[in-house]
Amino acid sequence: MKLIASLCDKSGQTLERVTAGDPTLFYDGKTLRQLKPEELDARSPTSTQITWFFITEMGVHLMAEIDGKAAMFDNETRTKIAEIDALSIR
């Protein structure tokens, strides 16, 4: 929740609520994408990455985290809006 709130602050938006987590979306540090069924089957339970959906006054967004960074994306376009150092927030 702190990461999402920090991303909202950085982008000048106000967090209204966190809605859901999705383990089928994957962020590699550059691209946020839907995993293929075979990729989902091959993942170990301990390596599952959760992408979070949340709502601001500007609509639905996503937050994904990798390599100590958290990124905020527009839900419809998957365009990166903001990125923060996640390790300094925790």
Strand ranges in 11-58 using DSSP code E only, listed in sequence order = 15-22, 25-27, 32-34, 51-56
| Assigned domain for 88 exists | no
| Assigned domain for 14 exists | yes
Residue numbers of the domain that contains 38 = 2-77
pLDDT score for 43:
85
pLDDT score for 46:
75
Distance of CA 78 to the CA centre of its chain: 10
| Assigned domain for 66 exists | yes
Nearest to 3 by CA among 27, 39, 24: 27
Number of domains the chain contains: 1
- pTM, 2 dp: 0.92
| Assigned domain for 83 exists | no
pLDDT score for 48:
80
Low-confidence ranges of the chain (pLDDT < 70): none
Listed in sequence order, the residues at least 6 apart from 46 whose beta carbon sits closer than 8 Å to its beta carbon are: none
